[in-house]
Structure 1
């Protein structure tokens, strides 16, 4: 299909940047230029702020049932346009086509859940003395500045847009410059569903310029980011300086503990399947594996066999199960991390090399016997690298799993209810999966602790994040 020209969406209009600035959008599969991305100017950002404020004043008065109808219509359009939107996302980000489709369908499910949850933002009446009524209500917080990454350019924007709109807020979305047209296709679903001008705004450009100007504006009342820890800390500081709350869903370095009593082959197959989805470019991706010594060899053999079945290629090649990394920076990062691990004494069991000299393809990689001094055991790889080490002392593993500042997701495989309960309690993570890896769905909250962020997306907590509590004390006279 022809690549659609990316546009900004401001005050109900699809537009180019007012000063004409652009930057190229690159296809990670072959390094070709897909199109030109408009770079928002200060004037564009200011117009977006004014429009979003007007949009909020209008949208907050729309009844929740009507908001739900519009959000559900957007979800329906997302489903109807699934193949088209998936094609765009695959061109920009490199996911295999069928895998990309699953992300689009999950995005639609998120929207449908948020639409329903927006009708359940309840308050309460607090018992008091006769003649006095004490009420607690939740109101939309206002205009939200939302920042989303390139690794899930459909799913992640939908997670923010659905919750923000369900709560009665408007938002200005600064989406990833690497994947602009796929996110624009999401916004178009909302526009075509009947969202009024100013309720959803889409900007691209210089991230520092946009974030600084948006967060400093009195129009913006809350900041939400899905992104790296480094960027999250910076935006959180900007928000704190303006006394604005924020929701930060940041990076992870998920520990995996495979116990001696686990279903070893089943665990290995599940982990190998999930580890290399989206080329390992996911914040909840399993990365640091510790496997009980008694079952280590069986686990490693099964895991490596499953990895050998992966077919790496461009999104639209038949049978491809892993695409390229999203950009050249990620490719360089993989090469550096593998090189450092080997220099420290790690063993390369599978992969470890770039594929070809065009595009950003890298082999699915398995590293074993990786010493603690290796960078990959301290830095989030965000790519197709699995570190598989053995353990003999479970207490030691718990300490090593919790030693890093990351605290997003963790995974445990065991048949023991006692072990599962103990590890789920002691792992310092916002989310723990026991014997499976589906830990982020529409109906449950997702987020981290420590440097992996604060606040939650998904579930009732996701919608409530964009509300403020108001207490009403009414004395009847």
Structure 2
């Protein structure tokens, strides 16, 4: 697929000319893929006005009809899987097989939302006297300001857009400037599926300026954001000035507890696959691995062996299992975190040095015996870095898992029911996976606690984030 012309989508129209542009770079080659037009304040205001004008009409579209549009959009994405996956691999760098799976998941987001759009049930509340009917109904909150990151460039925009549209809300979304083409193709799929003009608007540009303008507008009623904790906190504070509904999916630093009775081969296979998927650039990526001392040596050797065996390269090349970092910032972060860990006495069992040649490539890196004072133990690496440390007792493992203020995803490996029950009860996290690492599906609630966010995306809970309750009390006689 030829890299598409990049544009803004405002009130059903594509806008390209007459704006400053930003180069979009290919991580594997450092070459320019395209030039992205940057939205002006006037563009953003037009997008807000379009979403506001479309909202009264879209909210009245029957749920069955909204569901049909979402379902058709999912079908279009599935039909174009091959070409869209190549876009992801060019913009983000990850292997084509991973990109193909991401397109399928993005399509499932729309399909799930289509099903649930028809099930936004209210309830009848028994009255205290004859002749009274009491009802609690659900209705859409209003126009949504959405912000999605670059690390899941099809899944994250799809989840936000699908949930909002299913609920009857309109959307102004600012996807990541690093991965704009796939987001725009999702918008095209919705247009092709029959989405009315103005219901979805897509802008790119200065993140700070656009977020300020959207959140200061009284016409925007909901904020949904995926990104760092620091930025999410700042956006939430700004949204609070006008009491906007807020959903925040923020950073994590996922702990892994491997207990003495774990199936070590299965644990290493699951953890390594999840750790190095998308070059570790996933908010749920297992990172702080606490392994019972009786298994620590065997676990370390096995994980190192798997890490060394991974083929790193351009995600479009056959046989590549891990691509580059998404941008130079992540590459610099990997170098800094590795040097800091070494300075704090940790061992570098494999990796730890930038790969030579063009592209932002960093190898799978395993750090052993890390100190809790090192930066990587406290700051999410967001890269292909696994931190290993042994533990002796259950209480020690739980204390380490809960040591940080993050609580997005965590992982437990054990074959003993009591250990599993005690650990899942004690771990402070929005998601806990036992003996596997699949932290999110379209039909399941996803989100964190503490510094990892507010609210949920996906599942029934995610749809409710875009809806509000209205109580109706009717005297019938």
Q: By the TM > 0.5 criterion, same fold?
A: yes
The residue aligned with 2:99 is 100
Once the two structures are superposed, the pairs formed by residues 320-469 of structure 1 within 5 Å of their partners are 320-469=320-469
Is the CA contact 2:312–2:324 (under 8 Å) kept in the aligned structure 1? Answer: yes
Once the two structures are superposed, the pairs formed by residues 21-100 of structure 1 within 5 Å of their partners are 21-100=20-99
The residue aligned with 1:265 is 265
- Determine helix, strand or coil for the equivalent of 2:295: helix
The residue aligned with 1:111 is 110
Structure 1: unaligned runs, 5 residues or longer: none
Is the CA contact 1:255–1:289 (under 8 Å) kept in the aligned structure 2? Answer: yes
The residue aligned with 1:202 is 202
- Determine helix, strand or coil for the equivalent of 2:473: strand
* Aligned: 1:20 with 2:19: yes
CA deviation profile, 1:248-279 (whole Å, cap 9, x unmatched): 00110000000000001110111111100000
The residue aligned with 2:134 is 134
Is the CA contact 1:335–1:353 (under 8 Å) kept in the aligned structure 2? Answer: yes
Is the CA contact 2:136–2:469 (under 8 Å) kept in the aligned structure 1? Answer: yes
- TM-score, L = length of structure 2: 0.99
Superposed displacement of residue 209, structure 1: 0.8
The residue aligned with 1:165 is 165
Tell me, in whole angstroms, the C-alpha distance in 2 between the residues paired with 1:319 and 1:358.
Answer: 19
- Determine helix, strand or coil for the equivalent of 1:276: helix
Is the CA contact 2:90–2:316 (under 8 Å) kept in the aligned structure 1? Answer: no
Structure 2: unaligned runs, 5 residues or longer: none
Count how many residue pairs are aligned between Structure 1 and Structure 2.
476
Once the two structures are overlaid, the 10-residue window that deviates more, 387-396 or 258-267, is 387-396
Superposed displacement of residue 319, structure 1: 0.4
Tell me, in whole angstroms, the C-alpha distance in 2 between the residues paired with 1:156 and 1:46.
Answer: 24
* Aligned: 1:278 with 2:278: yes
Is the CA contact 2:367–2:385 (under 8 Å) kept in the aligned structure 1? Answer: yes
- TM-score, L = length of structure 1: 0.99
Q: Superposition RMSD on alpha carbons, in Å?
A: 0.9
Tell me, in whole angstroms, the C-alpha distance in 1 between the residues paired with 2:427 and 2:328.
Answer: 34
The residue aligned with 2:122 is 123
Superposed displacement of residue 353, structure 1: 0.8
The residue aligned with 1:230 is 230
* Aligned: 1:317 with 2:331: no
Tell me, in whole angstroms, the C-alpha distance in 1 between the residues paired with 2:146 and 2:425.
Answer: 32
Runs of 4+ with >3 A deviation: none
Superposed displacement of residue 357, structure 1: 3.9
Tell me, in whole angstroms, the C-alpha distance in 2 between the residues paired with 1:434 and 1:400.
Answer: 17
